[in-house]
Structure formats: structure tokens, C-alpha cells
Chains A and B, each alone.
Chain A
Amino acid sequence: MAEATTPLMVDLDPATVPLEDIDVSQRELWSQNKKYPFFKRLRDEAPVHYCKDSEFGPYWSVTRFEDIMEVEQNWQSFSSDPTIVIQDPEEDFELPMFIAMDPPKHDEQRKTVQGVVAPRNLQNLEGTIRSRVQTILDDLPVGEQFNWVDRVSIELTTQMLATLFDFPFEDRRKLTRWSDVATGGPETGIVESEEQRREELYECLEYFTRLWQEREGTEEGIDLISMLAHGDATKNMDPQEYLGNLVLLIVGGNDTTRNSITGGVIALNENPGEYAKLRNNPKVIPNMVSEIIRWVTPLAHMRRTAVKDYVLNGQQIKAGDKLVMWYASGNRDERAIDRPDEFIIDRARARQHLSFGFGIHRCMGNRLAEMQLRILWEEIQKRFHKIEMVGEPERIPSNFVHGFSDLQVVLHPH
């Protein structure tokens, strides 16, 4: 229905389309990677922009770094409840999770689980992660074409999740499947119907309920399920809430890191000068990791719902309005970031990007994500002169999960 009235953005000229017609949520803009000129137009001419009609209903776009920061800071006016994505939740199938809660409940639940991915604990995981990375890289075919997304990005992030949950290793691809199912409705082709989606998620719940029951009876371990089963704030969760939090941890740690792994290879191939810098100076890797995460922006947006009237950069927001903070735009805002469209691995202040969000919901897994990427690139540099991208990457048709489903590469060893 909405499609009939809203023009298709990809067919229009971003420089001349009337501002009021711009709808940056359209999937085609994301699958064809044509969104950036539209965002630049909005940042320059209508930084807080109202789209009156879209597939997801009316919404405000917040596109400048500074304005996004202002929204992030003010959880009293901009709620994360009921959801943090542009698409409204299914009324009869809500998955409660702390990313979509406000204080005090958000704080209580976050505090229970955050210890497992805190830097102190990560130190203990570094050895395991490194050896898994080494095995994955050593098994790759050399000199022949393969899909990097499947063989490395998905495999590595899935193994990491299995480690965090202490999940039966041979079943680990179930985690990938559940992550895909949780984020993709029927329109993405991942499932055929909403019913199928629910069925698979209940299967996920059943599986994890078994693990919970096993672990609740034993001493608290350092895996996430055990922590949830023993934590005061979480041990009495109802099943739907348990499922919500599981999905949060699975999705949070899955697509995001996966797409950073793929995106890094693309960025280095598109910028051979930067690839040369990396070869000459592996010490740049931690800084490069931050730059990759900025440049990729694995989650394109987070959504808030206004609970009070508020004037944001001159625009009157009303209680009940939907706001979309477009990190993919804020990370390219020339007002906040020097030469934002360029990928510069030794960039100054590389950590100052929006990809992890800011404020009380700031990504809980940010150190884990950075550590995985750092170890991966350290091990890649020990083995390969170049990961050559052959052909164009295939992009996911989503305005939320910002990434790639296929990247064909050929490896060239030293």
C-alpha cells in the first residue's frame, strides 16, 4: 500500500528530489548502497527530517552526529520501549529485552549479564578465540575463490557465540539460524511466514530452556546462560523475557561482528594505500579496527519513541513520535568527523564514532567485538599478503542490519 504512494528513492536524483518526499528507510537504498547521497542532503538541508509516509509509518530521521548524541543522552524524553528498530513490534508476539527497556529495569538486567563480556573476563577468552581464529584461517583454500562471509565471518562469530553461551559446539550453526530468523521477517526470504518464524524461535527457546535447567542446578559458571539462571534480576524471568534476552545476546554479537569482518576486507580492497599501510605496520590494527567499525556501521540505526514533547535542532517532536537515529549518516557527518567518506586506518580519534551508540544503552559487547576483530587481523597478517576481493559484495536488503551476504575472495599467502 505504502509503495503505491511513495516514490521509489533509488530511481530519483538525491540532489533534486523534494525534501518532503525523501524516505531513507526503503530497502532498495540499502541493498543497492545508494543511501549516502540522500543522507548528505538531509544532513545539509533537513537534519531532523519528517517522513510522513513509509512502509513503517511516519518517522523522524536524525542524521547529524551531534543531534544523534543529544537523543542518545536523553532517555527521559526518548524511550527505547517498545522497540529499538523502525519496524513496530507484532502486537501479540513481543520479545522483552533490556535493549528495549528504560531505567530502572534496563539497568538491573544489564548489570546481571554485562560481567561476562567485561574486559576482565575477556582476557580469559583471548586464548580460546585466537586458537579458533587460527584453525578457521588455516583451513581456508588458498588461490581459489570462496565466499568469505560464510567461511570466515559467519563461522568465527558463531564459534564466539557458542563459546560465550557454552553452547554445544556441534550444534553451533543453530545460533546463526536463530539470529537470522529473529532479525528477518518473511519479506527477507529467510522464513516463509510469520508462523514459521515463531515456530523456529520457540524451538530456540526450548533448546535454551534445557540448557538453563541443566545449569540452574549447578554452581554458577562464567557462561551467559548460567549467569542468567543465577542472577537475582534475571532468574525469575518469564519464558518470553528469557527468549527476548537470548535473542538480544545472539543478534547483538552476531550480525554486527560478522559484517565488520566482511566490511574490513572490502574497505581494504577499495583502498589499496591503506592496505599497504597495514602491511608495513601491524601495530595500527587496534586503530584500524575502530575505523572499520565506523566505516561499516554494522547497525544502520536505532529507534526511539518520544515520551515528551521536545524541540530537537529546531523541530518540534511530539510525545508518541518515532525517531530514527541514523548512525550510518552520523558516522559520515563532516561536521563531526574529518574526511568522513574516506577509510583511513591510522585516523586520529578513530574511537569517536557512533557505531556502538552512546548513553546508557551503549553497546555492552563493544570490547568483545573489538577484541575479535583485532585478533582476526593479527592472524590474517601473519598468513596472507592479500585477501583479494573478486566481484562486488552482495548486500543485505535491510535498513537495520547493515551488511553483506556474499563476498567472493581469493587468498594470496606471503
Chain B
Amino acid sequence: MVKITYIEHDGTQHQIDAEVGTTVMNAALDNLVPGIDADCGGECSCATCHVMVDKTWMPKVGSPSDAEESMLDLNPERVENSRLSCQIPVTDELDGLVVNLPEFQF
């Protein structure tokens, strides 16, 4: 089990235990963390699972693939540390991960 903290736009924190092998998107849905819609169910095709990865974690989380980039790029509120959470697999390395949730999904 790996600890992940989701911080809502209003500051509310949700710390959950995620299984290695799931995704940061699915871990949120499984634990009823609000703020992620995931309309395409993890297919990198809707961009409604947008999160902003805590900057200190960016090196470990890494940058988006081309397919993810083309979806992220269309989000007007995209920032440097934006990622689609369905494209972040949960690994042991990410124990303690912190991600911020946007005010709106698109």
C-alpha cells in the first residue's frame, strides 16, 4: 500500500491508501475523493481527471506522453505540473505522493 494525499481546491485534504498497480485516478474514485470525473474511464481521452502534482514530486512522477500532452494542451487552465491522473500508475516510489485538484474539470 502506498499513501497518496489529494488536496481539493478549497484546501480539504484526503489521505488514502492505494494499491500498487492502480492509477492515481482510480485510487481517488475507489476512495470517494471528490473532484475527479474521469468520464472516459482512464483512456486518456477526456481530460476530466486533471490534477496538479505537488512540485517536489514532479521528478518522480515524470512528464506526460504525447497522447496525454495532446489532451492536456486543450485545457485552458493547464499549468506546468498538470497531469492526467489516469496516466500516473501507482508505484512504491510514489509513497507519500501529494496532488492538488483543480477547481473545475473541463
Please tell me which stretch of A80-88, A209-217, A310-318, A355-363 contacts chain B, meaning at least 4 of its Cβ atoms lie within 8 angstroms of it. A355-363
- Is the CB of A23 closer than 8 A to any CB of chain B? no
Determine if B106 and A358 form an interchain contact, defined as CB atoms under 8 angstroms apart: no
- Is the CB of A414 closer than 8 A to any CB of chain B? no
Please tell me which stretch of A111-119, A263-271, A298-306, A376-384 contacts chain B, meaning at least 4 of its Cβ atoms lie within 8 angstroms of it. A111-119
Determine if A107 and B73 form an interchain contact, defined as CB atoms under 8 angstroms apart: yes
- In terms of DSSP, what is the predominant structure of the interface of chain A? helix
Chain B's interface size range is 20 to 34
Given contacts A73-B67, A367-B106, contact A358 B74 (CB under 8 A): no
Residues of A within 8 A of B103 (CB): 119-120
- Is the CB of A352 closer than 8 A to any CB of chain B? yes
Q: In chain B between 34 and 54, which residues have their CB closer than 8 angstroms to a CB of chain A?
A: 37-41, 43-48
- Is the CB of B31 closer than 8 A to any CB of chain A? no
Given contacts A73-B67, A358-B40, contact A111 B45 (CB under 8 A): no
Measured CA separation A115–B67 after assembly (Å): 22
Return A351 CB to nearest CB of chain B, in Å.
5
Measured CA separation A360–B40 after assembly (Å): 13
Determine if A73 and B45 form an interchain contact, defined as CB atoms under 8 angstroms apart: yes
Measured CA separation A356–B106 after assembly (Å): 12
The one of A107, A110, A119, A358 that contacts B43, using a Cβ cutoff of 8 Å: A358
Residue of B nearest to A122 (CB): B104
Determine if B76 and A114 form an interchain contact, defined as CB atoms under 8 angstroms apart: yes
Interface size on A, residues (CB 8 A): 21
Determine if A352 and B40 form an interchain contact, defined as CB atoms under 8 angstroms apart: yes
Measured CA separation A110–B76 after assembly (Å): 10
Residue of B nearest to A362 (CB): B46
- Is the CB of B13 closer than 8 A to any CB of chain A? no
- Is the CB of A333 closer than 8 A to any CB of chain B? no
Residues of B within 8 A of A69 (CB): 40, 43, 45
- Is the CB of A72 closer than 8 A to any CB of chain B? yes
Measured CA separation A72–B37 after assembly (Å): 19
Given contacts A103-B70, A110-B74, A360-B71, contact A118 B41 (CB under 8 A): no
The one of A120, A349, A356, A362 that contacts B104, using a Cβ cutoff of 8 Å: A120
Determine if B104 and A73 form an interchain contact, defined as CB atoms under 8 angstroms apart: no
Residue of A nearest to B45 (CB): A358
List residues of chain B with CB under 8 Å of any chain A CB: 37-41, 43-48, 67, 70-71, 73-74, 76-77, 103-106
- Interface pairs A-B: 5 shortest CB-CB: A119-B104, A358-B45, A351-B39, A359-B45, A352-B41
Other CB < 8 Å A-B pairs besides A73-B45, A110-B74, A119-B103, 18 of them?
A72-B45, A73-B43, A73-B67, A107-B74, A111-B74, A114-B74, A114-B76, A115-B76, A118-B76, A118-B104, A119-B105, A120-B77, A351-B48, A352-B40, A358-B46, A359-B71, A360-B74, A362-B47
